[in-house]
Amino acid sequence: MQQLTFTAPQTLLWEDVPEPKLDGDGAAIVRPLAVATCDLDSAILTGKTPFQPPIALGHECIGEVVDVGDAVTSIEPGERVVVPFQISCGDCGACRERRTGNCETGPPMQMYGFGAGGGDWGGALSDLLRIPYADHMLVPLPEGVDPEAAASVADNVVDAWRTVGPQLEARPGAEVLVIGGAGPGSIGMYAAGIASALGAARVDYVDSDHDCNARAKRLGAELLEDADLGEKLGSYPITVDASSNPAGLRSALRSTARDGSCTSTGIYFEDTPLPLFEMYSRGCTFITGRCHARPAIPPVLDLIVAGKLEPEIVTEAVVPWDDAPDALPHHEYKQVVSRRETG
C-alpha cells in the first residue's frame, strides 16, 4: 500500500509500505476517507518540533471499516467511523477515568501521525490504518455527517471542546475569551464555535489573522480587535489560550476572572514565564497538556448533528488525495485531504 511520508522539511512523498494486518481479535483495519491537517502539522513540516522525519503523516481521520477481528462487536465492515488520534484501550485505570491520552497499555504519547515520537503507529494519509482496540476507539460517524466536515473531530475539534465544554456545563451561560493564532489557528476557532453552540453569554475572540477572525465571527464570536497581547483584556470566567504565543498566554491568564479557569492548547517548547502572583491572587485554575480525545468525540458529534456546530467553516480547502504531497507542505490554514472526487 501507499503512505504519505514526511522525509525532510517541506517534503512529502508517497511510499510503498507493507499493509497492516489484524494482529488480534479486538483489532480493525480502516481505510481513511478524509484526513485533516492538524495545527501542529505545519510546524512539523517546517522542522520546528521535536518530531523528526521520517513520519507517516496524518492523524485527524474519518475512515471506512475494512476488516475486524473476531471479538469486535460494535462495528462492522462498511461503517464510517471517527478514528481518535491517540491509542487507548478503554480498560486500564487511566481510560476508565476518561484519561485516554495517557492510556497505560503502552509507552506514553502513543498516537498516529507522529513517527517514532508517537510509537510508530503509522499515519492516516495511508491506504489502510490498523486500530488495536476497535470496540473502544472507533466511534461511528452519524448518518448524514460529511466525512470532510468531521475529519478534525479526531483531534483539533475535541481539543477545542475540552477548553469550554466541561467549563460551560459547570457555569452555564458564562462569558468566554479565546485567544487564537497558533499555526493555522483552527483550535481557537473551534473553541469559539463550540462555546457559542453551548450557550455562552458572549464569546470574545482575539487573533491577528484576518481570515481566522472572519471564520470565528461566522462561528458566533465577537472580535476583540487591536487587543494588546500580554495585558488584561477583561474579566472572563472561562478563558482559552490557543495562541502558542507567550504574550497570548499571559493575556488569557490575566483575563481569567476570580475562581475562573484558563485552558491552554498551545504548545510551548521553551520555558515560558507566567503571571503566577496574579493567578494566585484570583484563584485561577490553569489547565495545560494534551487533550483526552476519545471521551470528547460523542458530545462534539452531537453538536454537529444538531446543527449547532459547523466545523467545515474552519476548513480552507479540500484537497484530492493524490495531490496531498504538493498541497500540504505550504498550507496556511486547515486543509482536508479527501478520497472523494473533487472539482
Residue 241 has which C-alpha cell? 489560550
Residue 149 has which C-alpha cell? 466536515
**Which residues are paired to 192 by β-bridges?**
none
Q: State residue 343's pLDDT score.
A: 39
Residues in the chain with pLDDT values less than 50: 342-343
pTM given for the model: 0.96
Q: What is the rounded distance in angstroms from the CA atom of residue 326 to the CA atom of residue 314? A: 21
Q: Which residues of 264-287 are buried (b: 16+ CB within 10 A; e: fewer)?
A: bbbeeeeeeeebeeebeebebebe
Half-sphere exposure of 305 (CA within 13 A, CB side): 11
Residue 64: closest CA among 19, 24, 26, 34: 34
Identify the burial level of 142 via C-beta atoms within 10 angstroms of its C-beta, where 0-12 means exposed, 13-18 middle and 19 or more buried.
middle
Is residue 16 within 8 A of residue 2, CB to CB? The reply is yes
Q: State residue 184's pLDDT score.
A: 82
Residue 246 has which C-alpha cell? 507567550
> Which DSSP category does 188 fall into?
H
Q: Residue 15 CA to chain centroid, in angstroms? A: 26
- Helices then strands, counting H and E runs in the chain, come out as 11, 16
Q: What does the domain layout of the chain look like in residue ranges? A: 2-155+292-338, 156-287
CATH 3.40.50.720 for domain 156-287? yes
Q: Residue 281 CA to chain centroid, in angstroms? A: 32
Q: State residue 342's pLDDT score.
A: 45
Q: What is the rounded distance in angstroms from the CA atom of residue 174 to the CA atom of residue 195? A: 9
* Tens digit of each residue's pLDDT (9 = 90 or more) over 71-115: 999 999 999 999 999 999 999 999 999 999 999 999 999 999 999
Q: What are phi and psi of 319, to 5 degrees?
A: -110, 130
Per the listing, cell 495562541 goes with: 243
Pairing of the two strands 60-68 and 28-36: antiparallel
Q: What's domain 2-155+292-338's superfamily in CATH? A: Medium-chain alcohol dehydrogenases, catalytic domain (3.90.180.10)
Q: State residue 341's pLDDT score.
A: 62
Q: What are phi and psi of 120, to 5 degrees?
A: 55, 50
Q: What are phi and psi of 185, to 5 degrees?
A: 80, 15
Number of neighbours of residue 127 by Cβ within 10 angstroms: 17
